[in-house]
Structure 1
Amino acid sequence: MRKFTFSLKMGVIMPLFIVFTAFSAAGLLEEQSIYIQKKLLEHYDADQEILKIKKTELNVTNTGFCRYKRHFENGKVEYFSFNLIKFKDLDYVGTVKSGRLIIRTLGEDVIVQTYNDKKGDIDSMAAAVSIPLKQVEAEDLNDFAEKFQQMHQDLKK
């Protein structure tokens, strides 16, 4: 009888443990993606662009997808997308006042799509995404690197 009771307890406790563990990992990814997106939008600098930008969309999902879309005043649209599971490292080129965050992937893992361009609609792949930022301190860069790396590691699990 004791063996049966023990087996019954383990049969109930183990699935509950697995469910709680799964939700905590999903919650952590959600938290990291929201934080990264908030910080990128907070420091985004549209004034660095050569062509005037009418609208920008920048989001990071809890499944690890980073999407960056620029709508230019001349009608051209550029769309960049990659998954953080392919994240390699990042660099910052510029000063505290303004610069570009370059997010690199393991290979050519960034989808690049261009619409309404004079050269036509173009689909290609790239190894990096460059995002213009402003008012970026060293702590912000360290924070970006840490959060991107954490999310990359959590997605690999």
Structure 2
Amino acid sequence: MEKFTLNLRICLCALSCVILMAFSAEVILDEELANLQKKLCEHYDSSREEKEVTRYELNVTNSGFCRYKRYFASGKVEYFSFNLVKFKELAYTGADQVGDLFLHTKGEDVIVQTYNDKKGGDVDSMACYMSIPVKNMAAQDVSDLSARLIKMNAQLSAQK
């Protein structure tokens, strides 16, 4: 009976550890997603589009979606979205002061929607990358962002 009780205690302890580790992984992922959104918003360069774009929304959700929405003065709205599970690689063009981040996906996994466009009407399409204008991005920032995205991609893929 004592051996049974000891084995029961060991099993319960192991089960509690597994449950706690599962919840801690989710908390770490939420922190990483919040950190990613903070970095993207911190380096976003609105000055290059301020005549055309009246406002923008750049969000990384808890479910792992990266969403970028631009509102133009003409009333046109552009919306880009993709799941970080589909993330492939990060590319950067430009200098330290001004550039563009290209978030490439594995295929045509970026949802592109245009609303209220007087020239082309409402358009739904797919793309293989999302471009975000940025400023003050050092090489270290780009490599850190790329490493975080790859890590989050692996974590999100493991959850599914």
Q: Per the shorter chain, which TM-score range?
A: over 0.9
| Counterpart Cα distance in 2 of 1:51 and 1:76 | 13
Q: CA RMSD in A?
A: 1.5
The one-character-per-residue Cα deviations of 1:47-87 (angstroms, maximum 9, x if unpaired) are: 22386111111111232110111111111111111111111
1:2 Cα deviation after fit:
2.3
Q: Residues 55-134 of structure 1: matches in 2 within 5 Å? A: 55-118=55-118, 119-134=120-135
Identity of aligned residues (%): 51
| Counterpart Cα distance in 1 of 2:61 and 2:6 | 41
Moved over 3 A (4+): none
| Counterpart Cα distance in 2 of 1:135 and 1:35 | 17
Q: TM-score by structure 2 length? A: 0.92
| Counterpart Cα distance in 2 of 1:116 and 1:7 | 66
Q: Residues 40-51 of structure 1: matches in 2 within 5 Å? A: 40-49=40-49
Instruction: Give the corresponding residue for 1:139.
Output: 140
Q: TM-score by structure 1 length? A: 0.93
Unaligned segments of structure 1, at least 5 residues: none
Unaligned segments of structure 2, at least 5 residues: none
Matched residue count: 157
